[in-house]
Amino acid sequence: MAPLLALLLATVLSAHLVLAFPGMDSGALEDQLARRSFNMVHRPHTKRTDPFLSLPALNIAGIPLPISVNYPGGVTVGRKVIPDSSHPFQNPPSGAQRGGCPGLNLLANYGYIDRSGIVGVGELLWALQEATGWAPDLAGAVVALGFRSTVDVTTMKLSIGNTDSRTSGLFTSLIGGTVPGLFSAAAHTKFETDGSILYDDAYFTPGGTTSQFNATLWAQRLASANSNFGGVFGNDWVGQTRFDSYNYCIQNNPQCNWMAVAQVLFYGAECLTYLNFPSSNSDGTIGSATASVVQTFMGIAAQGSSFVKVPESLPPSSDGHWYRRSTGITLAEGISGLISAYSAHPVVFGSNNGATNSFVAQGTPTQLQGTITVQAVGCMILNEINENVPGSFNNLVTATLTPLIAALTAPGMLNLGC
């Protein structure tokens, strides 16, 4: 086992040891720990400043254009009905790209990003905050991750589904041709990775596609929520689901990939079921992540005794509207969620070696050091994003992208004290 993971595991286990002492309320202690990490990063403010209004432009040698992210800005603050009147739901137009991320598909279905699913980085950065209700630190970090081989830096466009030449421009040949779509086979294990809630692993699908809906798999997720977690798709359900996926992956997928950092992030992404999918209440709390909420957001409809995939839409509250949260989901919240989910069933990161049950632990990822705190995990992720600026591009592009990635991850770095 990699030393840092051993350390991480030891920390988790010792935390559980402490929790086992009689007279100690484990829930209370966990709350205290969570609150302590939040206090550490909490920077109260009354007015939202938009950190992305002055993103650096890129001057890539050989390309006679300064390339800019074209960020529209103007994100509204507070609880709000989404969609607004200028963003009605529409089924994806023919030829549109959709992928394995329900939130991105949903943004396109409401036109918060281009309905074609071919998206400018700036509009995505805006939409994640305006429509999905993410705080700048979370939106910036996730968009920065997209640069991991899936953004055409000459057009600043990406495809939220498969590879699509509509992301390309006049100068794309200078970076080696059309970039892979976020959920294309070529991007597998970079952004998208194994162990999805409702899609088959790339290994099992024709051409390695990563958006093959599996109704049996979904039925199992639902049964798990119903029989173990009172029908709620909360953090406990996420922890169990990730553990189920891990075991299934190792036992059935010869190429099972459970490597940090992509898999660490996946724990956080699955926490969006309860952090992001339900409509928020007027008192600032968020609704319960019931099956109906999660299925609507993920685009799953019952058909007889089985399920079919339908376009993702926003699950309405009792008055018919979906409300964005009053405060944006922060990176710290997502990371706190992933730590709890991971800690419920701590596993070793690594991958299968070409055969089922051939799992090999990952080599030492030196980023993950110290104790398992929001700060440690958050800074590990942000540092990794900054240190591994797009490997598939040539060095020139990497060098010019570095300040942009730094600017996108700066809010997270600041808030987490990295």
Ligand X SMILES: *[C@@H]1O[C@H](CO)[C@@H](O)[C@H](O)[C@H]1NC(C)=O
Residues of this chain that bind ligand X (CB under 6 A): 200, 204, 214, 216-217, 220, 248
Query: Nearer to ligand X by C-beta: 220 or 362?
Result: 220
**CA atoms within 13 A of residue 320's CA, in its CB half-sphere:** 0
Task: Print the SS3 string covering 215-269.
Answer: HHHHHHHHHHHHHHCCCCCCHHHHHHHHHHHHHHHHHHCCCCEECCCHHHHHHHH
Burial of residue 36 (CB within 10 Å: 0-12, 13-18, 19+) is exposed
b/e map 289-325, b = 16+ CB within 10 Å: bbbebbbbbbbbeeeeeebebebbbbbebeeeebbbb
Alpha-carbon dihedral of residues 316, 85, 106, 152, nearest 10 degrees? -160
Query: Nearer to ligand X by C-beta: 216 or 318?
Result: 216
Query: Nearer to ligand X by C-beta: 205 or 392?
Result: 205
- What are the two backbone dihedrals, phi and then psi, of residue 59, each rounded to the nearest 5 degrees? -120, 100
Closest distance to ligand X from the beta carbon of 227 (Å): 16
Closest distance to ligand X from the beta carbon of 191 (Å): 21
With contact defined as beta carbons under 8 Å apart, do 415 and 137 qualify? yes
Query: Nearer to ligand X by C-beta: 214 or 367?
Result: 214
Closest distance to ligand X from the beta carbon of 240 (Å): 14
Closest distance to ligand X from the beta carbon of 220 (Å): 6
Query: Nearer to ligand X by C-beta: 200 or 236?
Result: 200
Closest distance to ligand X from the beta carbon of 105 (Å): 20
Closest distance to ligand X from the beta carbon of 305 (Å): 15
Query: Nearer to ligand X by C-beta: 60 or 217?
Result: 217
